[in-house]
Amino acid sequence: MTPDSPHDFQVDLDAIAALPGIAAILEVVCRTTGMGFAAVARVTDDRWVCCAVKDDIAFGMVPGGDLKVQTTICDEIRDSGERVVIDHVSQDSNFCNHHSPAMYGFQSYTSQPIVMPD
């Protein structure tokens, strides 16, 4: 794949689906954080694509589904490489006025970037 060619998200979907522990990991994330939604997503400059999901809040995301990356905190995380943990959006000075919690209605959030070597 050249830098200008489109990313093949199906490769990512297949790779995540092949991981035998991914459903258990998402279950543990939800159980330990108390959140009702957890996902593994592939985030590029122009796409946020769900690769695996545990959705107990009926958000409606399924593997292969996507969000406009600019509406997500992952857009900023991809650029910074830093994880984000928000216990209470309204009490977090960095995110209380952020467009993502307002748009999606979440009150807590955590994201850990995983960067592939390539």
> Residue 27 domain-assigned?
yes
The model's confidence at residue 100, banded by pLDDT at 50, 70 and 90, is very high
Domain count, the chain: 1
Residue closest to 110 by CA, chosen among 80, 74, 81: 74
Positions of E strands within 56-99: 66-67, 84-86
**In terms of residue numbers, what domain contains 82?**
9-111
> Residue 76 domain-assigned?
yes
For residue 33, the one-letter residue type is: T
**Helix or strand holding residue 14 (H, E):** helix 9-17
> Residue 4 domain-assigned?
no
pLDDT of residue 35: 93
> Residue 50 domain-assigned?
yes
> Residue 16 domain-assigned?
yes
The total of other beta-carbon atoms located within 10 Å of residue 26's CB is 18
> Residue 23 domain-assigned?
yes
> Residue 99 domain-assigned?
yes
> Residue 118 domain-assigned?
no
Cα dist. 50→25, 30, 81 in Å?
15, 16, 19
Question: What's the pLDDT tens digit per position in 58-74?
Answer: 999 999 999 999 999 99
- Global pTM reads 0.85
